[in-house]
Amino acid sequence: MAPYNIAVVVGSLRKDSFNRKLAQALEKLFPADFSFTQVRIDDLPLYNQDDDGSPSAQVTRLKGEITAAQGVLFFTPEYNRSVPGVLKNAIDHASRPYGKSAWNGKPAGVLGASVGPIGTALAQHHLRNILAYLNMPTLGQPEAFIHNKEGLYDEAGNIGEASKKFLQGWVDSYVAFVKTNA
């Protein structure tokens, strides 16, 4: 495995998720010393504090993948001006039991794609509040509010020319951030 493994958390369960598509295209812009683990969140139970002492296999898997990673990338849709419940559920699971959070200290990157022109800005700011509490250093700039519009991808599903310079710059900043904070 490459020296820097990044856990990728997509906050949408939708088959044709724009956020998953963005995650897959963005990975191709990273250098060879980075690899990725797609973190599964669709099979997690609803978080219940009563289960902290006997976590399900899915929760143990989630925490193991985050713990093993040198950083975490979050791709969040915006649902009603916040993060989807499925994403918050996964974050809560891996944050517990108290004092045993898997997120602690992991350098985070936050992106989101939306059909709306403000491209998940409010959801991302809610997410940043959560990550601050979880003690995750989070790349501040550039921000990545991605409007899922025509031309974002080329025919092969790679980032299209119009957005490539910006997103390559985002990746370069996050790579440097991980190397400083991992």
Using CB under 6 A as the criterion, which residues of the chain lie in contact with ligand FNR when the complex forms?
Answer: 12, 14, 17-19, 77-81, 114-116
CB of 86 to ligand FNR, least distance (A): 10
Give the integer Cα–Cα distance in Å for 38 and 23: 9
**C-alpha dihedral (64, 68, 72, 74), degrees to nearest 10:** -30
CB of 12 to ligand FNR, least distance (A): 3
CB of 20 to ligand FNR, least distance (A): 6
CB of 40 to ligand FNR, least distance (A): 15
Closest CA to 86 of 20, 136, 11: 11
Closest CA to 113 of 103, 129, 127, 124: 124
> Token pair of 136, please?
């995750």
Going through the chain in order, the beta strands assigned E by DSSP cover 4-10, 34-38, 71-75, 108-114, 145-147
Select the residue whose beta carbon is closest to ligand FNR and give its number. 116
What DSSP line would sit under 23-62, residue for residue? HHHHHTTS-TTEEEEE---TTPPPP-GGGTTS--HHHHHH
Residue 16 or residue 50: which is nearer to ligand FNR going by CB?
A: 16
Residue 71 or residue 112: which is nearer to ligand FNR going by CB?
A: 112
Residue 7 or residue 86: which is nearer to ligand FNR going by CB?
A: 86
Residue 70 or residue 114: which is nearer to ligand FNR going by CB?
A: 114
CB of 81 to ligand FNR, least distance (A): 4
Residue 122 or residue 131: which is nearer to ligand FNR going by CB?
A: 122
